[in-house]
Amino acid sequence: MRHFKVGIAFAAIAMLVAAPAVKADEIVIKFSHVVAENTPKGQAANKFKALVEQRLAGKVKVEVFPNSQLFNDNTVLQAMLLGDVQLAAPSLSKFGKYTKKLPIFDLPFLFKNIQAAERFQQGPAGQKLLMSMESKGLIGLGYLHNGTKQLSASKPLRVPADAKGLKFRIQTSDVLAAQFEAVDALPLKKAFSEVFTLLQTKAIDGQENTWSNIYSKKFFEVQDYITESNHGLIDYLVVTGAEFWNGLPADIRTEVKKALDEAIAHGNKVALQKAVSDRKLIMDSGRTKILQLSDSERKKWVEVMKPVWKKFEDQIGKDLIDAAVASNVGS
């Protein structure tokens, strides 16, 4: 008994002495994102935290900040370069300030579906794009899916002329601005965290987003119509600061990357499920009307929006666009 007590006392002292040293050495990874936890990105981030803390306990600690709690997507990359955050996964539409190439993902009607986007992302052209911002201090660690975009509005949108004169919130992307200008609408670049209030107060008429974001941020409660347009996609680039990443001990970096790849695979599964289940929840809510486009209606959107490609061809590169188009084979 006496031995036991002494043992406990000794262990307690050892822990007290050891604890600060371990904490001081612990690498902290702050992962900032803007969406709800119950989304593909939210679930991937939480999975990453769980895996890292299980496998690298005491060595690496992950802190996840969802719902724009820490930064919004317009400030997170700057914060990353300053070392204030180590991981983020902004949508591919939000890197225009750092690379001319990633805006390819915003070209309207580029990919037939998520599977085609996946083929492009995992192919040589997509993999090369991960490093397209290295000279700016940012490294892409992988792609994560959310889903295809739908158009929501305060009035029914069946043909492009219906969007004329309406104000749409867009992500910070010049391609998306051109896409809405092509239908004579007024695009406004606004942070994701502002969208619900802008819609609710009718400061804007509509927005484009995935089923998962429309559901988890309740946009469907303040929009009377959603046109099932699937005219583009929201996928993410999981990004880190080059200085932070290259400064990690090699064995830790390998483990962190492995956990991230597994977390992305998990998030991608959630994305496929949510594209179906959140759509159904929105439909079942009866709060909004989901409009299906006939083939001829859809053709009109394609005809009016597709010339946007030409506008950005020099910037993005025809070879890259051709590689993306080629990934549609089999979809």
Read off the tokens for 191: 């942070």
Closer of 35 and 104 to ligand LMR (Cβ)? 35
**284: three-class secondary structure by DSSP:** helix
Residue closer to ligand LMR, measured from CB, 158 or 190: 190
Site for ligand LMR in 178-217 (CB under 6 A): 192, 209, 213
User: Using CB under 6 A, which of 171, 179, 288, 327 touches ligand LMR?
Assistant: 171
Mask: binding to ligand LMR, 233-272, rule CB under 6 A, as x and -?
Answer: -x--------------------------------------
Distance CA 19, CA 5 (A): 21
Binding to ligand LMR in span 311-330, by CB under 6 A: none
- Nearest distance from residue 310's CB to ligand LMR, in Å? 25
Q: Is 74 in the site for ligand LMR (CB under 6 A)?
A: no
Cα(263)–Cα(272) distance, rounded to whole angstroms?
A: 15
**DSSP character for 60?**
E
* Number of neighbours of residue 247 by Cβ within 10 angstroms: 10
Nearer to ligand LMR (CB atom), residue 159 or residue 260: 260
**Is residue 34 involved in binding ligand LMR (CB under 6 A)?**
yes
Q: Which long-range contacts (CB under 8 A, 24 or more apart) does 267-270 make?
A: 267/40, 267/41, 267/43, 267/44, 267/47, 267/144, 267/145, 268/40, 268/144, 268/145, 270/39, 270/40, 270/43, 270/44
Judge contact between 173 and 315, C-beta under 8 A: no
Under the binding rule (CB under 6 A), the answer on residue 173 touching ligand LMR is no
**If binding means CB under 6 A, how many residues of this protein chain bind ligand LMR?**
9
Judged by CB under 6 A, which of 146, 227, 230, 288 binds ligand LMR? Answer: 146
**Closest among 33, 129, 131, 130 to 76, alpha carbons compared:** 33
CA 209/CA 203 separation, integer angstroms: 18
Q: Is there binding between residue 148 and ligand LMR (CB under 6 A)?
A: no
CB of 148 to ligand LMR, least distance (A): 13
CB of 265 to ligand LMR, least distance (A): 18
Q: Could you give the CA distance from residue 98 to residue 135 in angstroms, rounded to a whole number?
A: 9
State yes or no: residue 91 binds ligand LMR (CB under 6 A): yes
Residue 125 or 234: the one with the smaller Cβ distance to ligand LMR is 234
133: CB partners within 8 A, 6+ apart = 95, 98, 99, 102, 139, 140, 239
- Which CB, 192 or 220, lies closer to ligand LMR? 192
Q: How far is the CB of 195 from ligand LMR (least distance, A)?
A: 7
Minimum separation from the CB atom of position 231 to ligand LMR (A): 14
DSSP 75-120: THHHHHHTTS-SEE--BGGG-TTT-SSGGGGGSTT--SSHHHHHHH
Q: Facing residues of 30 across strands?
A: 63
43 lies in the site for ligand LMR, by CB under 6 A: no
Nearest approach in angstroms of CB 109 to ligand LMR is 19
Contact footprint for ligand LMR (CB under 6 A): 34-35, 91, 146, 171, 192, 209, 213, 234
